Amino acid sequence: VAIVTGASSGIGLATARRLAECGASVVLTARRVDRLTDLAREIESAGGSAMPIAGDVTSLAEVNNVVAQTVDTFGSVDILVNNAGIMPLAPLAEARIDEWTAMVDVNIKGVLHFISAVMPHMIERKSGHLLSVGSLASRRPFPGGTVYSATKFAIRSLSWGLHLELGAAHGIRVTDIQPGFVSTELLDGDPDTAAAWAEAWSGRRTLQPDDVARAIEFAVTSPDHVS
């Protein structure tokens, strides 16, 4: 049983498809419930199992509801894929504090909300896999994406700490996937920065959502003793 956040597009959508193909019952959550419903129908028509649940990762109440419905329906949460994220780009000098706050709320607090909700179930069963979609930006910030990079550095540090606290003691695996530039709807924010980014990548081959989904599939299907 896998919960995938941000499943309405991009990496989350591709991951949900792959995990369903592997035989997982997939809970699809995001704010755009119409897209989730369409994806659930697609997965079910292909012989898979999927359940769409609208949820905003910044709301702890909504996150707790997603996890409660998952446990009520399927009996457990084996895999959590923390994928939901935003990346509005702008120079720090513009001091777009509202955008900074939104990134912290979604990219960090949203991850913490879901971890807090699934952790008791995994600790009780001494089994589970907490996986977060981080970024190469956690190791190498770039102009216009400094705050975004900082949020992904937080995920990198959080994942390592979770591994140390939950691995040997509770049998819970932790993975931080760190892709580079992926062709998704994520790019947003200042038009000039976005245009410069697009120009810099013009003619280059970027990662596709399914490339990242394959890495996630590899991680969650590895044997239990592989961390």
Residues with active-site annotation: 148
Residues 6+ apart with CB under 8 A from 4: 12, 15, 16, 19, 26, 27, 28, 29, 81, 83
Of the CA atoms within 13 Å of residue 23, those in its CB half-sphere come to 2
Query: What does R_g of the chain's alpha carbons equal in angstroms?
Result: 17
Pairing of strands 87-89, 25-30: unpaired
Q: CA 103 to CA 146: how far, in whole Å?
A: 11
| Helix 60-74, helix 110-125: angle, nearest 10 | 30
CB 136 within 8 Å of CB 179: yes
